Structure formats: C-alpha cells, structure tokens
Amino acid sequence: MNKLRHRPLAVGALRAFEAVARHLNFRAAAEELFLTQPAISRQIQGLEDEIGAPLFVRGTRHVELTSAGAALLRSVVPLLDRLDATVRQIRQSRGRRVVGVTTFASFASLWLIPRLEAFQREHPDIDIRVSASDSMVEPDGDEIDVALRYCPPQRGTEGWVRLFGEVMTPVVSPWLLERARSGQGPGLERPTDLARHTLLEEFDNRLNVEHMSWRHWLARHGLGELEPKRWLYFNYTFQQVQAALTGQGVALARLPLVAEALRTGELVEPFADCAERLDSAHAYWLIAPASARQRPEVAQFCRWIEAEAARTRQAVGEDPGGEDGLGEAD
C-alpha cells in the first residue's frame, strides 16, 4: 500500500498543470510560460508523482484530462486567481504603479526597450512590465494594460492608434560597405550586386511574411531571378538585424525598427540614393482600452509611446498627414 504524501504542492507545477489543461497541449503551455517543453513535461510528471495519480492521457496527437486531472483543475483555477489577485493588491498597496505591456519579441528588442530608459527617467515612480509574446494577447485590465501590435489595418478595431507604417529597406554594416567600396570585398553599389553577397532572410511560420521577404523585394525591382552568394535564415527580426550589425550579410530590414541604428551609423542603406525602400500594407499599433487609460500611469505611458512614434515617423520620412488610428482611443 502506497504511503500518502502530505508535502504541499509547488505553485510552479500547478501553473504548468493549469496551462497544459487549458491548452491541452504541452508545447503551447511551454510557450506561454517561457519554458521548454521538456521542462513542462518534468513539472507535470513530478506533480503526478506527488499526487499519486495521472493527470493527463497523452495521445500521439492530443492530450486529455483524466478524472483526477479534472478534479484538480477545479481547485487550481480559483486558487491561482486568488493568489494573483492578492499579489496585485500587495503591489498596489506598496505604492508602486505598474503598466503591463504586451508586444512581439522583435519590437520589444529593437524599438521599445532601447527607449524605456528615457521614460523611466521622466517617470521614476512608474514600473513597466514587458511581456514579449508573438501571440496576440489582449489587454485584460489585470496584468496587461497596453498592447503594441503589428498587422494590416483590417485586423484592427475602433480605438486602435496607428504608430507608424511599415517600410522594408536593405541595410548593412558600414564595415561591410566600406570593404566593398575599398575593393576588399564584392561591390555593393546597385541591387544587382546582391548576387555576390549573403542575404539575411526572415522566415516565420506563424505569420505571413511574404511582403517582408527578399524574393518579394527582388521581384518588385525586376530581379526575380537573382540568386545571392548564400542565404542566412532567421525566424526573428532582431536576429536578422543582429547579423547585419555584425557584418554577416545584407538584411531586408523593417525601417521603423532600425531607424535609430541608421541614425547612429551602426547600419547604413547601401542603395539609399536609389530610393530602394518598399512600402507595406502593415503598420504598428497601440491598443489600450479606455478603462486602462483612466489610470494616470497608463495614460502617461500611452502619451509617451505616441510621442516616440512621432519621432520614428519623422526619422523614416513618413507622411504626417496619414491616418492616426481606428476611431477614438479614449
């Protein structure tokens, strides 16, 4: 007869269990909690060992709750809700004002985070919590107050504020360009010279990124048959930009996300004189529900984001007379 265990269960394992039970998918739970799938599996296995019963039926293509899992879930969900609510109350009672922001990883790395120091200097009493996720997380009034998104206008709804549009442009390290101009490397004076260089390409199975591809850019410039020296593929924009910064090839970059690097000279547009930029139907958006904007810290953060976006529009030469958003923001 097995001896009953009395040790309390770890909260981390319960969060992993709740996420797997909600998604009925170990991979999706791992992505949500920023863990690896094996780590989630180990937490669930440890929890099953502690309880002494299986919590999931694991099939080849699906996951289902057992009766024991369903019973545990009924207790875990309200438990975690109460725990999170208590933590929020404690944080608020200690006088710290927090703004929760969700955005995708590359926007956080290339645009938002480099600017946050300026906001914190202006507002030292406001804490910012950045949650980087490539899933479209909705502002919920609890942990997430503001969403910064990237999508075409038809995906938006009333109240979305347009920050700036999308423009694709080739960029390289000035070191690589100088080598080309000094004859130490292959030339890079006109688009046809790309055949002698490595092209840094972004791929992402989660999004339709055809409009951001080199093939699209080359075809629009009458070079659909051009083959580069080699391809180097990345599934995140910030990886592609980092490779360009270190001189590993020519990136087709999202201009608003590299505008600061172009301003400082860390990157350059090799064909800037040829007007080789390519517009996209996509744009970047600020979403903050009216209920969230009623909090002064959220309103201040949104105003700051919009001011920074105006600077980006100026930096990339965007027409200031375009649409500001989809309906009223507040």
Q: What is the CATH number of the domain that holds 84?
A: 1.10.10.10
In a domain, 256, yes or no: yes
| Structural domain boundaries enclosing 37 | 11-92
Do residues 27 and 146 share a domain?
A: no
* Residue 235: per-residue pLDDT: 86
In a domain, 1, yes or no: no
* Residue 156: per-residue pLDDT: 61
In a domain, 5, yes or no: no
* Residue 131: per-residue pLDDT: 87
* Residue 189: per-residue pLDDT: 87
Do residues 102 and 87 share a domain?
A: no
Do residues 142 and 267 share a domain?
A: yes
Do residues 81 and 185 share a domain?
A: no
Of 92, 124, 149, which residue constitutes the final position of a domain?
Answer: 92
This prediction's pTM: 0.68
* Residue 328: per-residue pLDDT: 45
Do residues 116 and 263 share a domain?
A: yes
Sign of CA dihedral 177, 182, 186, 189: positive
Do residues 70 and 137 share a domain?
A: no
Distances in whole angstroms, Cα of residue 213 to Cα of each of 108, 217, 224, 276, 294? 21, 6, 12, 14, 40
* Residue 178: per-residue pLDDT: 87
* Residue 183: per-residue pLDDT: 80
In a domain, 3, yes or no: no
Segment holding 63, helix H or strand E: strand 63-65
Compute the distance between CA of residue 47 and CA of residue 30 in angstroms, rounded to an integer: 16
* Residue 110: per-residue pLDDT: 94
The number of folded domains in the chain is: 2
Of 43, 73, 92, which residue constitutes the final position of a domain?
Answer: 92
Q: What is the mean pLDDT of each run of 10 residues along the chain (330 residues)?
A: 56 90 89 86 91 88 90 91 76 73 92 94 91 71 83 73 93 89 84 94 68 88 92 92 94 94 93 76 90 90 96 86 51
Do residues 85 and 101 share a domain?
A: no
Do residues 120 and 251 share a domain?
A: yes
Do residues 105 and 74 share a domain?
A: no
* Residue 320: per-residue pLDDT: 61
* Residue 44: per-residue pLDDT: 92
Of 43, 59, 92, which residue constitutes the final position of a domain?
Answer: 92
Q: Write the CATH number for 230.
A: 3.40.190.290
Do residues 101 and 88 share a domain?
A: no
Do residues 188 and 285 share a domain?
A: yes
Do residues 198 and 78 share a domain?
A: no
* Residue 89: per-residue pLDDT: 64
In a domain, 6, yes or no: no
With H, G, I as helix, E, B as strand and everything else as coil, classify residue 149. Answer: strand
The burial of 321, by beta-carbon neighbours within 10 Å (0-12 exposed, 13-18 middle, 19 or more buried), is given as exposed
In a domain, 242, yes or no: yes
* Residue 60: per-residue pLDDT: 75
Compute the distance between CA of residue 202 and CA of residue 225 in angstroms, rounded to an integer: 19
Compute the distance between CA of residue 119 and CA of residue 300 in angstroms, rounded to an integer: 9
Can you tell me which residue has the tokens 């591809």? 213
